Structure 1
Amino acid sequence: MASSEPTSESGTDITASETLADIVEAYERMDMEMSRYLLFIVLPSAVFFVGSVAIAIFVDLPLSVQLPIPLLGGLVLAAAVAYPKLLVSQERVEMENQYHLLMTHMTVLSTTNIDRMEVFRKLAEEEEYGALATEVDRIVQLVDTWNQSLDDACRRRARRIPSDHLADFFDRLAYTVNAGQELSEFLLSEQQVMIQNYVTMYESTLDNIEVMKDLYLSMVLSMTFALVFAIVLPILTGTNPTMTVGAVIVLYAFVQTGFFLVIRTMSPYDPIWYYPDNVRPRGEWTMIGSLALGAVGSLVLVALVVGDLFGIGPGVTDFLPVSTLPRPLYMAIPVTPLAIPGVVFRLHEERIKARDGEFPSFIRALGASETAKQSTTTAVLKTLRKKDFGPLTEDIDDLFKRLNMRLDPDRAWQYFTANTRSYLMQKFSEMYLVGRQMGGEPKQLGELISENMNHVNQLRQQRQQATVTMIGLLYGITAASSFAFFIGFKIVDILAGMSLDLGSSSSFSAAQLIHTQVYDLPVIQFMLLGVVMINAVLSSLIIRTVDGGHKANALLHFVMLTWIGCVIAVLTMSVVGGLLDV
């Protein structure tokens, strides 16, 4: 027992020293010198923190103002100290998100008839790979400018890369190159390791999102109870309910915004859509038209709602068989047309996912047929276009027609990927085309690309399952929160309308029991409807972030969440009013 304490202290010391070493390394990796950053960023932040503490201590201010001032100073100081570490973490995440694409691209290029340094030079020109392309360019600079060998350059950069997976890869590459093994042999043997690393990283992010989902549920429910108490308690205490409800709403919005930013940071980078620069894809005008229709329809309904509420011109009820509508519906009706672009973009996205599911079979069949027949891509596509590749069949037929018309192959494949709108198909099609043009074996290229895309499709299915559970959670929270908000509001509304006749001989009045005069009920109701809208916006953004699809997908969830919250509000007030109103 006595020997366990030194071990624990030693472990703590090691952890602290490792953390300090990581922070120092993060400072050294910045573009700005460490001394300049400490002098111009950290030091002023520390002075600001000390000043905020001094103001809180020596200036006579209300307690509600005194407490946030040093908290703000501490937040500024903590942000200044942690910023370099956050930059390194962001760079690591960016590298790991593009890791599988760069490794596949490197393997495809290595199987062609180009020099191994030319492989690195071409990858360094791919700006889409971001931090990975920058890291590869540094290796190229070490070789070309400083005349270092490729293995020395890889080994040197491996000590500076924040990603452990990429650092291990560069170490293994340096050893292999130094031993004389061909780059293509090494990269082909590394494919399974690369795929497994990517699968592990992807699944770990999905597991982290599951943990955040549970934490999000508990925090939002806590904020819901706090808001209900803020509505009901002032009737007994006599405090200003508008201030308390407003303060809780601000906290509620901060909590949801914080969780959205955290989930956005944690979600794996796996884009579905491809946005071509100089080609107008098929169906583009349909999507643009749906956005315009949704925006115009929403603006028209906003004008009608304003006319109904303020008696200015025609109103919504002029076109409905009712004379009045419950107030919450006036918030739900104007956003309804936004569901139009949401549905249109969702249908397009489902077709993109269906094409992604068929692409591995197509590219594998294309490569195998080209190798077996020893013929051109055009001749092979003449047969393949008659096969059933689901929603990809039409695009394959168009690709054949363009190649058969002697259109430039680069341009023909560019139209093919633009019309499919798939990010992965664009990347892998480009890899296949470049590999073929540089003398790579079609069968090997097709199998390599097909295997990698199959793994990505499997990971996307897991992500879709996580999205479905998140949708169920957020829709359920929206219904439960709206019910809790408006049951508290309706109880206060009923109590405010009650007249208590306790007799003239009573030594106290009704106003000493309940303080209904402090409530401005229309304002409170408007604030609660604002919470419903805030929840709909942030929840729809969370769903879109977890799903990884187009931003317009959030519109459909936004409309549905708004309607759920408003309809639950109407039903709750109606039912509670029928039960308690006497």
Structure 2
Amino acid sequence: MSVDKAGTGISNALEFVSDLLESYDKLDVDRREYVGYILLPATLFLLLSTVVAVTVSLPLTVTLPVIGIGLVVFSAAAVYPKLYINSRKAHIENQLHLVMTHMTVLSTTNIDRMEVFRTLSREEEYGVAAEEIGRVVHLVDTWNQSLDDACRRRAKEVPSKTMADFFERLGYTIGAGQPLEEFLLSEQDVMLSNYETLYESALANLEVMKDLYMSMILSMTFALVFAVVLPILTGTDPTLTVIAVIVLFVLVQSGFYVVIRMMAPYDPIWYHPEGGAPGDRRLYTALGVGAVGSIVLIAITGLGMNGIGPGLPGLLWFLDSTPLPLYICVPLTPLFFTGVILRREESAITARDEEFPSFIRALGATESAKQSTTSKVLESLREKDFGALSPSIERLYRRLQMRIEPEGAWRRFAIDTRSYLIQKFSEMYLVGRRMGGDPKQLGELISANMNVVIQLREQRRQSTVTLIGLIYGITAAATFAFFIGLEIVAILTDLSADLSLDSMEIGQIIYAGVYDLPLIEFLLLTIVLFNAVLSAMMIRTIDGGNPANGYIHFVVLTWLGCLTAIGTRALVGDLLAV
């Protein structure tokens, strides 16, 4: 069994090295240039740091970090090509379903098949996928290769296996004489199936990360509790111990955030036009109100702590005393208002997304049946109930009736909805209609694609709900554990002060004098605040919404942690006092 495991490990290591070496050939720079300008200096830096650490007489706490920095620099330089290629692969696969839908829409029109590729290669929003299509166009236009040869040639270089397979099939199909439209329409089911698999596998990986996250945070919680309590028995400096564990806690949580951000599927909800949108003023006002409100409360609190003005106790006049945790959570409360406003706007965007497939399908079918213009069809369609999308449809109809050119009217329609998907798919429909595509076919194609995305978003929403419950539970449990340890130490400190240490020799058992309890309480509240920030960012990353919506979770998690701290200290103090 051990031999098999060793063989598997060696095989995996050799495969990794092979992939790494292969990635050097796929960089945008020449392999020799990368080795000479990047990898060689990093190797020399590692050797230099190792020589310095070995030859110079330094403490072990300095020697290890010096060698560690050299290893980090060398590892980053050595592994960067693979990370770069993996990043390009992720960018392609995140955009591929939109690229293929756009390509299919263009193929159903009356334009040449090379013009389809040229049009997509100019779509900067598709990023790396557009670059790969542009390279196919370059092979055809510059090197006079046929489209099928160019696709097969580029398939060997594309970092994404999904796109490479697509280019390979496309090349052989075009070479066999099948029209581009027929091939792409038959590929829709394959493309959607691949996209669903990619999306669902990312969500499954996030579920695994949730379990790991809970385990690691609980481990860090136990470590921090021990760091608070044990010094009373050992006499070591608790402040340094607590700071060390807090730094480790921060690094672990930051690492999980980075990994979750890399693993989360790319599926933006908001559309951000270059010139802004009509509702931006309201959103920026909400952001300003929240920020200014927090700054004002922070200023009042800070001035009060220096004896100027009423301070926080003056604002909370109805409390007999102001616990330290309230100095953290109260000044942040106005940001909750900002989060609520943006959450409402995002919910409205989601509602419009859900109505768009039925609208675009009805529009395409009616245009095809009546053989009429979009404005004439909208005259009857606007009477139907399309829920949250109805006001935007009404404004689209009015703009078309005012003889505004269709491109401008549809662009304003996308800005009204603020939806990324609606913007992309409405643009595809408009281009397809302008170039002679069948409106019914276009409507059904776009509707089917968007329905798949909406269903996947629902799975993502459910995954986010479980993460929110997990984070709120961990926050309450961890804070409870932190402050139980702190209150026990505070009670033992008071007890040792009341006893005669000379006669009872308590000082040999309890080292109460090493504690600076207000400072340790402040450090614990700092980790509560940091946990709220990172947790809110994780939630926003997984659900794909606007980062500003995280203000709601940030404020609520901060209040949850602070109230748990206050309640824990009061409860434990009362129980142990009895």
- Give TM-score scaled by structure 2 length: 0.97
1:477-516 equivalent positions in 2, closer than 5 A: 477-498=474-495, 499=497, 501=499, 509-516=505-512
Match of 1:127 among 124, 128, 148: 124
Match of 1:449 among 446, 450, 456: 446
What is residue 249 of structure 1 aligned with on the other side? 246
Are 2:526 and 1:530 aligned? yes
In 1, are the aligned partners of 2:375 and 2:400 still within 8 Å (CA)?
A: yes
Runs of 4+ in 1 over 6 A off after TM superposition: 7-13
Instruction: Give the whole-Å Cα distance in 1 for the aligned partners of 2:187 and 2:501.
Output: 89
* Counterpart residue type for residue 89 of structure 1: N
- SS across alignment from 1:162: coil
Instruction: Give the whole-Å Cα distance in 2 for the aligned partners of 1:284 and 1:37.
Output: 45
Are 2:345 and 1:352 aligned? no
Match of 1:28 among 3, 17, 25: 25
1:359-374 equivalent positions in 2, closer than 5 A: 359-374=356-371
Alpha-carbon offset, residue 502 of structure 1: 5.5
Q: Which runs of 5+ in 2 are unaligned?
A: none
* Counterpart residue type for residue 444 of structure 1: Q
- SS across alignment from 1:440: coil
Match of 1:198 among 183, 195, 198: 195
Match of 2:185 among 188, 194, 197: 188
What is residue 284 of structure 2 aligned with on the other side? 288
Q: Which runs of 5+ in 1 are unaligned?
A: none
What is residue 111 of structure 2 aligned with on the other side? 114
What is residue 404 of structure 1 aligned with on the other side? 401
1:94-173 equivalent positions in 2, closer than 5 A: 94-173=91-170
- SS across alignment from 2:204: helix
Alpha-carbon offset, residue 519 of structure 1: 1.2
Instruction: Give the whole-Å Cα distance in 2 for the aligned partners of 1:475 and 1:9.
Output: 41
What is residue 312 of structure 1 aligned with on the other side? 308
Instruction: Give the whole-Å Cα distance in 1 for the aligned partners of 2:207 and 2:242.
Output: 31
Alpha-carbon offset, residue 8 of structure 1: 8.3
In 2, are the aligned partners of 1:500 and 1:510 still within 8 Å (CA)?
A: no
Alpha-carbon offset, residue 398 of structure 1: 0.7
* Counterpart residue type for residue 398 of structure 1: R
What is residue 19 of structure 1 aligned with on the other side? 16
Instruction: Give the whole-Å Cα distance in 2 for the aligned partners of 1:515 and 1:63.
Output: 29
Are 2:367 and 1:379 aligned? no
Alpha-carbon offset, residue 240 of structure 1: 1.1
RMSD of aligned Cα (Å): 1.8
- Per-residue Cα deviation, 1:267-309 (whole angstroms, up to 9, x for no partner): 000000001113x433222111111110111011111211332
Alpha-carbon offset, residue 147 of structure 1: 0.2
What is residue 303 of structure 1 aligned with on the other side? 299
Instruction: Give the whole-Å Cα distance in 1 for the aligned partners of 2:247 and 2:573.
Output: 28
Alpha-carbon offset, residue 158 of structure 1: 0.3
Alpha-carbon offset, residue 239 of structure 1: 1.2
Cα–Cα, structure 1 residues 11 and 178, in superposed 2: closer, same or farther, change >3 Å? farther
Alpha-carbon offset, residue 208 of structure 1: 0.5
Alpha-carbon offset, residue 36 of structure 1: 2.3
What is residue 539 of structure 1 aligned with on the other side? 535
- SS across alignment from 2:309: coil
Cα–Cα, structure 1 residues 572 and 200, in superposed 2: closer, same or farther, change >3 Å? same
Instruction: Give the whole-Å Cα distance in 2 for the aligned partners of 1:256 and 1:229.
Output: 19
* Counterpart residue type for residue 267 of structure 1: A
- The 10-residue stretch of structure 1 (486-495 or 87-96) with the greater mean CA deviation from structure 2: 486-495
In 1, are the aligned partners of 2:501 and 2:507 still within 8 Å (CA)?
A: no
- Per-residue Cα deviation, 1:530-575 (whole angstroms, up to 9, x for no partner): 0001000000000000010001111111000000000000000111
Instruction: Give the whole-Å Cα distance in 1 for the aligned partners of 2:325 and 2:17.
Output: 54
What is residue 204 of structure 2 aligned with on the other side? 207
Identity of paired residues, percent? Answer: 58
Instruction: Give the whole-Å Cα distance in 1 for the aligned partners of 2:301 and 2:494.
Output: 28
- The 10-residue stretch of structure 1 (29-38 or 50-59) with the greater mean CA deviation from structure 2: 50-59
Cα–Cα, structure 1 residues 234 and 503, in superposed 2: closer, same or farther, change >3 Å? closer
Cα–Cα, structure 1 residues 318 and 15, in superposed 2: closer, same or farther, change >3 Å? closer
Cα–Cα, structure 1 residues 154 and 566, in superposed 2: closer, same or farther, change >3 Å? same
Are 2:341 and 1:339 aligned? no
Alpha-carbon offset, residue 325 of structure 1: 1.1
Instruction: Give the whole-Å Cα distance in 2 for the aligned partners of 1:31 and 1:310.
Output: 58
Cα–Cα, structure 1 residues 505 and 406, in superposed 2: closer, same or farther, change >3 Å? closer
Alpha-carbon offset, residue 46 of structure 1: 2.2
Alpha-carbon offset, residue 347 of structure 1: 0.4
- Per-residue Cα deviation, 1:291-338 (whole angstroms, up to 9, x for no partner): 111011101111121133222122232233235311101100000000
- Per-residue Cα deviation, 1:456-513 (whole angstroms, up to 9, x for no partner): 000000000010011011111110111111111111111111236367555xx32221
- SS across alignment from 1:67: helix
Alpha-carbon offset, residue 379 of structure 1: 0.5
Alpha-carbon offset, residue 167 of structure 1: 0.5
- Per-residue Cα deviation, 1:5-49 (whole angstroms, up to 9, x for no partner): 7x9888766645433331122111112222222222222222322
- Give TM-score scaled by structure 1 length: 0.96
Alpha-carbon offset, residue 51 of structure 1: 3.2
In 1, are the aligned partners of 2:361 and 2:440 still within 8 Å (CA)?
A: yes
Instruction: Give the whole-Å Cα distance in 2 for the aligned partners of 1:52 and 1:167.
Output: 42
Instruction: Give the whole-Å Cα distance in 2 for the aligned partners of 1:504 and 1:304.
Output: 46
Instruction: Give the whole-Å Cα distance in 2 for the aligned partners of 1:559 and 1:10.
Output: 51
- Per-residue Cα deviation, 1:407-443 (whole angstroms, up to 9, x for no partner): 1111111111101000000000000000000000000
* Counterpart residue type for residue 174 of structure 2: V
